[in-house]
Structure 1
Amino acid sequence: MNHLLPPLSPTNRWWSEETTAVVTGANKGIGFAVVKRLLELGLTVVLTARNAENGSQAAESLRRIGFGNVHFCCLDISDPSSIAAFASWFGRNLGILDILVNNAAVSFNAVGENLIKEPETIIKTNFYGAKLLTEALLPLFRRSVSVSRILNMSSRLGTLNKLRSPSIRRILESEDLTNEQIDATLTQFLQDVKSGTWEKQGWPENWPDYAISKLALNAYSRVLARRYDGKKLSVNCLCPGFTRTSMTGGQGTHTADEAAAIVAKLVLLPPEKVATGKFYICVESKKLISKL
């Protein structure tokens, strides 16, 4: 299904300076561009980064150009203690969360390679890190007036059609999918990598470890969306398209600012237009397609 995002205009503006967003992995690239765009639109934004110096400098660069509503807190999503410390900091200093953009991720493959290099690290960061942070922040979401939003930055590499194994695909596309089944799938992948049989077992061929981490994130998002359906919290995923960032070696078809504009429009949709449990893929500057 194709979706054309509506323009952000004063007539459909539901947010204010009191609306608070958290963006992870935001000292550069898409994350930084998302923070800047949300600040331009008048929100209060928490910029997080694993490296305290880089994050502080990124936040200060935004303050210097007039954005007073930006906060910085160090956050390493691969470290459960860092996640706990961040959730505690947020609760003490800001209290109520409206929007979470899980952007932080790692990849050790060069563009075009299909090698597996550090699958445990990639899965721990890209999937379990985002999941643990989300679960830690769930009690802080505002669900009294509007619809709070979680947007997990994903990849088309994580679509179910990349799985060549019919049995694994049947598990992950089930409407009754559980977190335990997702965990079991990841455990099986890591075992197959260790035994050298991952290709024969039907896992994705391109960037397999990164693809599996994003496939798991998409699956978890659907489970979480089902859990909070009707409870004023939407959970969606977005593949921003091939964006020119350090992760892609500067290659891509569009800029981080263009990707950030799509993110902002999705997380700021009017409450009556907000969907949940969707995986959006950016195919043009304003057009999305929705897939499993």
Structure 2
Amino acid sequence: MTAHDRPHATANVSLARRAWNIRRTALRMGAVQGQGYIGQALGIADVLAAAYFHALEYRPEDPEWEGRDRFLLSIGHYAIALYAALMEAGILPEEELDTYGMDDSRMPMSGMASYTPGMEITGGSLGHGLGVAVGMALGLKRKKNPAFVYNLMSDGELGEGSTWEAAMGAAHHRLDNLVCLIDFNNQQADGPSTEMLCAEPLKEKWEAFGWRCQRVDGNDLPAVAAALDAARAATEPKPRAIIFDTRMCKGVPFLEDREIMHFVRVEADEWAKALAVLEEGRPE
């Protein structure tokens, strides 16, 4: 069964509406705790929508199906975004939304594989995800399993030596079943990523490491979907990377317009306001 054959994927719901739903669900979860990495969640929603409703093969009713594509969240603090996508995909029940971040919840504030269906790895120690993805992709190759491994990582992880060691290993083993998705929002804990440790020229750097690389606007849904298609369809025996330039807080203009930092503070009265503003831009 392909991504385009699944009932939940073929329902008459546009990718734009899927992305909007993910943003709305993430905001609702953030309101539960009054905090969360909502800037990143709003920014990456288009990539998650295209991944889960255009590119990935999976079975919502069987998250551990051996034929599934593996989606790794290297950036564990983006968990609020992935939970929203997993709810939209039918892997997590929406009824659990109000338990976000609570004791005994299946949705801790940082992603943990042992708690959450559909969460492939425990992320958060930044720079480790790609190495795990390389191991998974190599294992699938050796088992002759045609599934793909997608690793979502942050631009801050480009400053970790382990990321580039993993990149070399992937190229050496010709892992054409590995797709690295890089969220380039130019923010990390200490400030703008390009001011902390500039990784440019980034596309050329991945290519020099032996990867096929694309760079697109991560908030342009048709461009995101086309890039995912091109990565999967490529025939060169090499791993694939896509750099997504995203805008923090995308979809909520009053948050987009304020000074953007790694952790965007939303005041108690602003969660409802953000939901109302998002509602005004709801797509069909």
TM-score normalised per structure 2: 0.38
Give the strand-richer structure, 1 or 2. 1
